[in-house]
Every structure is written in C-alpha cells, then in structure tokens.
Structure 1
Amino acid sequence: MPYVGTEDETLECSFRSLEFVNATFIVEGNKFPIPKISKTTRMGLQLTVGKGAFPGRGLGKCLQGKVEASMVKNKRDHFGLRLKPDARQRKKEIEKKQERRRVRLSGE
C-alpha cells in the first residue's frame, strides 16, 4: 500500500476521534487521488482550537470532560435504555423472541 501524505496547510490536532477510510480501486498507470479534509471540517477544527481547546484535554469550561470516544453498546432487547427489567419481564421478552423465531422458521 502506498504512503498517503497530507497537505502542509491542514490543521494538525491530536484530539480528532473520527477518521474516514475509503478504499478506491486505481487502474495501473493512473495517478493516486489526494485525500483532502473538507472546508467545513477544517473550519470547525479551527474554531475549536481558536476557542482554547487543547489536545488531550476535555472541552468543558475548566478543560474537564471525556477525552476518548464512548463505546457503543449493542442493545438487543426491546426495553428502554435506562429500564432495568426484573426476572418476569426478561422471561416474557425471551418467550416473545422464541415465538417470533418459531413463526419465522415455520414460514407463516
């Protein structure tokens, strides 16, 4: 895989938590497309740094807050995000799932 360089005029920030990765098919002999950061993203980063944000620090008034991105949990039940179901509710949910599977497998 060839080395992908960056433009010198781009703003370098270590607190970026989102990266875009694209796979592009390039015919042999053609030039490599140069990846560029969008004007909107560049403007947002300049404003964030201009307001006093520091790499590795939070974005709160006193530089508090999370620095790393939160992990997304896979929620497979039909309960609300904060509801803690009791044993009866869990059993009822399992029975519903089993019934849906039976219907799907029987082809009805």
Structure 2
Amino acid sequence: MFWTELMLFLYKFPFVRSLTASYPSLLPRAFSTHTLRMSEEPFRPREKLVEKQKLFQSIHKHTYLKGPYDKITSVAIPVALAATSLYMIGRGIYNLSHGIGKKE
C-alpha cells in the first residue's frame, strides 16, 4: 500500500514518468502504469457541466442567489432567525420591565 501511494505521488513529476518508462524494472511488481489512468467515469458528462456553467454565468444575480433553492437558504432562513431572536429579546425586555417570571 505504501509503495503504491509513493509511486502515485512521484509519478506526478515528469522526470519520474520518463525514468519509469525507460526503466520499467524500477517499478514494483504490484505497480504498473495502467493503474494511474482514470478508473471510473466522471459523475456528469462534460457537456452538461459546460451547459450549467454557461447558465450560471448568464444569470445577473448575486452568486449566492443563483440556484433554485438559494433564496430559501440565503434569505428566508436568516430572516426567520433574526425575527425569532428579536421577538425573544423583546419579550425578555418586557418581562424584565414588568416583573413577570420573577422568583421571590
């Protein structure tokens, strides 16, 4: 496991790649260059990614409001939290000023 990870790291450098291509005996037996290729397909095709990228770049809104549900997470939830906290602060000030809930 260690040697494979080490070779994967070192294989990023061009001189190591050319050296192992010239001298394949330097590679451990369990390691071969075909393991460095992509083993699975990407999650989305490139065409769909480019299409989404063009869509998002064409929208003239702030970045945090571009998605379909971003108004809920970026606007509605913070406004609800602020309103709730202001209500609770106001109720606490009212209770303090009128002596409600005071322990004797």
- Scaled to the shorter chain, the TM-score interval is under 0.3
Give the TM-score normalised by structure 2. 0.24
Larger radius of gyration: 2
Q: Looking at secondary structure, tell me which structure has more helix per residue.
A: 2
Give the TM-score normalised by structure 1. 0.24
Structure with the larger RCO, 1 or 2 (CA within 8 Å, 6+ apart): 1
